[in-house]
Homo-oligomer: A and B are copies of this chain.
Amino acid sequence: MQYFMEPKDVAIIGASQDFKTINGKILKYLLKHHYQGRIYPVNPKYQEIAGVTCYASVEEIPRDVDLALIAVAAVRVPGILKDCGTHGIKRAVIFSSGFAETGAEGKIIQEEIIATAKKYQMRLIGPNCLGILNASSGMIASFSASLELDCIKTGHLALVSQSGAVGFMLFNLLQEAGVGVNFVVTTGNEADVTVSEGLDYVVENPKTKVILTYLEGLRDGEPFKKTAEKAAEAGKPIIALKVGNSKSGQKAAATHTAALAGSGAAYKSFFDKMGIIQANDSDDIIDLAQAFVPGKLPKGPKVGIVTMSGGVGILLADRSEELGLKIPQLSKGLQEEVQKVIPAFGCAQNPVDVTAQSLNQGEEFKKCLKILLASEELDMLIVAITMATGKMAEKIGMDIAEAALGTDKPLVVSWSVGQVSKPGFDVLKDAGVPLYHSPARAAKVLGALYKYVNFKCGWKKTSGGEINLDRKVKVQKALKENSKVLSEHSTKELLELYGLPVTKEYVAKSAEEAAAMAECMGYPVVMKIDSPDILHKTEAGGVAVNISSAQEAEAKFKEITENGRNYNPQAKINGILIQEQVPPGVEVIVGLQRDPVLGTQIMFGLGGIFVEVLKDVVLKPIPLSREDAQEVLNEIKGGALLNGVRGRQAADKDALVEILLGVSQLAVEAGEDLLSLDINPVMALPQGMGAKILDGVIVTS
């Protein structure tokens, strides 16, 4: 990526003298923004363009070139790439459309350029993208109209987008909001370089402090995950606008709870695990960018609100509380200090109402902000301004900016009127103070900062338990040898390898065996059909409970076997399980889902109606740490049920944590052959009494 982002020289193939055309604009913007490298326009029509020598062909360029910029019609691209390859150019950005995005014909041309690139060991960005830029070196390889601005405000933000239009739209909005940008990468069709590679470059670059990304869908989750880990390690927040969640992802369909884990849910759990902040709109991602760029994080949840309108103060308190932030009552001492610098009819509590009057006068408003920022009673501050015009707006802006620059605490401004207050807006933008034009948006970003700081403090790279090679071989063999669906008993055999508490059970091959096993196990017992071809055992009449004598066991053996044969005459029946009957407890479900892109995720939920009616489940990418497993139990909505409510006994949560960790380890060792696991139910017994896995099914790839 370095050659893409920091080229010493670039060639513009098909460069045009007409700065209104795409090929003209690329050259125009390089010149306009003072690219520090050499530019080689290539076009046989011209000797020079705007004072830059123009070459008739790639071959005529007198020296090696780091990067070729190609914006000609799709059909001409393969030939040009070949020329570039022959001439030793190793990097190309292809802007042109008309490739895989348009259908079969375009796809063929795309395959052709991929082959050409491979042949010459070239790397490609695009096609169908809007290019890349490195603002600090003036390397503006794009034709987006958003580059018409006179001067790019540079800063520590990097932007990597799968869509060119969205990427440069966000670039424009960032510039308008006064946020400096250093890198933009748009990857388009990703014939070669993916969004993950772009992200990896910007995350590693010391100039980057905050990363924005627009995603439609990753081609491979692994490199993205590694990059996200690097960002987490470095404390560089990634803010993502991921679209396409309303389309169902690919689902593992054989187990019925699989329907709950769409790929949108997989992304969400993955982002949560990696501390990636999720935006849901263009507004939203810009709002968040503004808040994260100053690099100030709150130490706790305590928000101070300063306002000139009681109403806006209440609104801010409402929205802040909803986000888990606290609006603490100020101590008597602090109130007294504040009261000295606000009018008598102001309010020194939190929200602090400084009144419109005090904003206009001398040093008092500024002093008030400084007093609040200096206090340990508050972790961050929202300053809410409503109507202010002209000079007064400017003064307010300056007072706030001074206070913001003098603190390590986050300070954001909600200034909810229109352009009458522009002089104030301009001061704040120049000073890099996060400015929002509505109260809820200001509260929202503080919620995100607080959430991120919690992530950052708790972050450590989770590595699963140590891999047991023997066991791994055994598991992978079992998964390969079995049919697509493993029976309950086979599934439990694998779970037992991980020390998981499956029910004691044996497979009886005859009625006599069934009676003997039941006798030996002690009554009551449960009897279940054991067949990889009968997934829904109850529906098939394949389950009997409360069996309490040898005679009953014999009779049920015959009945269940017959039921199974009637239900599915083709079913392979291994026998009938004779299983210990577990006393009642809280039923939970533990599962594994493999997302084709993001890998395996563990699923946890309360059993029965909680999953079926309320869809109350949590997903987490594997491997789980012990902390992750504990979190999972608290994250479900019905989590309180495990703690015992209204006279019920608390469930053995430790035992559930062990099961989650074991299942996570199974997923790690099983690898890609395991498509899904559904343990339903696990019976969580009262605290101290463990948990039992009553039923389970594995589906292989």
Question: Quick one: which of B165, B283, B441 contacts A440, CB cutoff 8 A?
Answer: B283
Question: Shortest Cβ distance from A448 into chain B, in angstroms?
Answer: 16
Q: Is the CB of B176 within 8 A of A311?
A: no
Complex formed: what's the CA distance from A245 to B315 in Å?
9
Q: Is the CB of A439 within 8 A of B165?
A: no
Integer count of this chain's copies in the complex? 2
Q: Is the CB of A315 within 8 A of B281?
A: yes
Question: Shortest Cβ distance from A440 into chain B, in angstroms?
Answer: 3
Question: Quick one: which of B165, B172, B439 contacts A420, CB cutoff 8 A?
Answer: B172
Complex formed: what's the CA distance from A246 to B303 in Å?
15
Which residues of B lie under 8 Å from residue A282 when comparing CB positions? 315, 416, 437-440
Which residues of B lie under 8 Å from residue A441 when comparing CB positions? 281, 283
Which residues of B lie under 8 Å from residue A246 when comparing CB positions? 317-318, 321-322
Residue-wise interface mask of A (408-421) relative to B, using a CB-CB cutoff of 8 A (1 in contact, 0 not): 00000000111110
Q: Is the CB of B345 within 8 A of A416?
A: no
Residue-wise interface mask of A (594-613) relative to B, using a CB-CB cutoff of 8 A (1 in contact, 0 not): 00000000000000010011
Which residues of B lie under 8 Å from residue A162 when comparing CB positions? 311
Q: In this complex, what residue of B is CB-closest to A241?
A: B315
Which residues of B lie under 8 Å from residue A227 when comparing CB positions? none
Question: Shortest Cβ distance from A278 into chain B, in angstroms?
Answer: 12
Question: Quick one: which of B172, B280, B416, B440 contacts A169, CB cutoff 8 A?
Answer: B416
Q: Is the CB of A309 within 8 A of B163?
A: yes
Which residues of B lie under 8 Å from residue A144 when comparing CB positions? 387
Complex formed: what's the CA distance from A311 to B186 in Å?
12
Q: Is the CB of B176 within 8 A of A418?
A: yes
> Which of A463-471, A481-489, A496-504, A639-647 interfaces with chain B?
A639-647
Q: In this complex, what residue of B is CB-closest to A437?
A: B283
Contact residues on A (Cβ < 8 Å of other chain), bracket: 35 or more
Q: Is A253 an interface residue (CB 8 A)?
A: no
Complex formed: what's the CA distance from A166 to B149 in Å?
35
Question: Shortest Cβ distance from A625 into chain B, in angstroms?
Answer: 27
Q: In this complex, what residue of B is CB-closest to A316?
A: B243
Question: Quick one: which of B321, B439, B609 contacts A281, CB cutoff 8 A?
Answer: B439
Q: Is A148 an interface residue (CB 8 A)?
A: yes
The 8 closest A-B pairs by CB, nearest first: A176-B418, A163-B311, A165-B309, A281-B440, A283-B438, A166-B311, A243-B314, A246-B321
Known: A145-B388, A166-B311, A169-B387. 16 other contacts (CB 8 A): A102-B344, A146-B420, A148-B420, A162-B311, A165-B312, A169-B417, A173-B416, A216-B314, A281-B315, A282-B440, A283-B416, A283-B441, A609-B638, A609-B641, A612-B646, A613-B645
Mark A residues whose CB is within 8 Å of B.
Answer: 97-98, 101-102, 144-146, 148-149, 161-163, 165-166, 168-169, 172-173, 175-176, 214, 216, 241, 243-246, 280-284, 308-312, 314-315, 317-319, 321-322, 344-345, 356, 386-389, 416-420, 437-441, 609, 612-614, 637-638, 640-641, 645-646
Can you pick out 6 interface pairs between chain A and chain B where the beta carbons lie within 8 Å of each other?
A: A102-B345, A172-B387, A245-B318, A246-B318, A281-B319, A284-B440
